[in-house]
Structure formats: structure tokens, C-alpha cells
Amino acid sequence: MSKILLTDDYFSDVNPRSMRRLMNVIYITVRLLKAFQIDFSWYRLSSWINLTEQWPVRASMIVLQHDQNGESLDDSTSLQSVYDKVRPKISCLREAAALLELDRDERKLDAFLQLHKSDLLVADLRIFLPFTINLDPYLRKVLK
């Protein structure tokens, strides 16, 4: 698990408080997944939690895109492809401009999604979203 966490750029400038938060989120999410007897990849889970923790607004937009077009999205579609469809809408979100400050650097998101193109798929979103405790549902409500 530590190898997974330390390989991502996010963890190069992490402080002890945020590392503790991430570990707690992973711990609770894993307990929920195991309680429901759901098979998962630790690597994919840590990537998903990393995405939702660093870029909550953009991750919420990816989730909204999935909610609106879920049946047309194949399980093997990368989250980067979904984000590419959402990206033009971001500049139109004047009312959510303050919310975008919650997200880290967008260029890092592009690099992260490119790096995890084969690791973060719509199938992973469908598995992990019901157990995601660190993504505020209010964001999706505001973004709708």
C-alpha cells in the first residue's frame, strides 16, 4: 500500500495531516467494500480516492457526466475520456468559480488522468462511488 501511495505526485508534497486523512478515508472505504463483499484493486481504489480528494469539484463533474450518460458509457471507458467531455463545461461555471478553488492544479489532474488512463475506468467509478465518503454530495447538487 505504501508503494502505491508514494508513487503518485500528490504524495511528494503531502503533510502529515493530509496523509492521515487519506489513510482514514482508505481505511473506511475498504471496510465498507469488504462489508459488502466487493472485490476491488487496492491500486485502483487509491487512485480513485486520490482523484476525489485532490479534485473534488472536477471529480463531481465526472460523476455527473456518468449519472447523465451512464448507459452510453462502457465500463472500459477511461475517466480521462469522461473528463475530456466535461472539460469545456468548466469554463462556463461562473457560479461555481469559488468551488473550483477546492481543486488542486488542473494540469496535475491532466497528468494524473493520463498516468492512470488504464487504471481509472468507468467500471471503477461504478464500484467505488457508492462507498466514496470523501466526496461531498452537495457539490453535485450545486453543479447540476
Buried b (16+ CB within 10 A) or exposed e, 43-71: ebbbbbbbbbbbbbbbbbbbbbbbeeeee
> Tell me: the pLDDT tens digits for 86-100?
988 887 776 667 788
Q: What is the pLDDT of residues 15-26, one digit of tens each?
A: 788 888 888 999
Distance CA 55, CA 59 (A): 6
At 54-76, the pLDDT tens digits run: 899 999 999 999 999 878 889 99
Counting other chains too, the contacts that 23-31 makes at CB distance below 8 Å and 24 or more residues apart are 25/49, 25/53, 25/133, 25/134, 26/1, 28/133, 29/128, 29/131, 29/132, 29/133
Q: Is the dihedral of CA 109, 86, 103, 26 positive or negative?
A: negative
Give the pLDDT of residue 94: 66
Cell of 28: 473506511
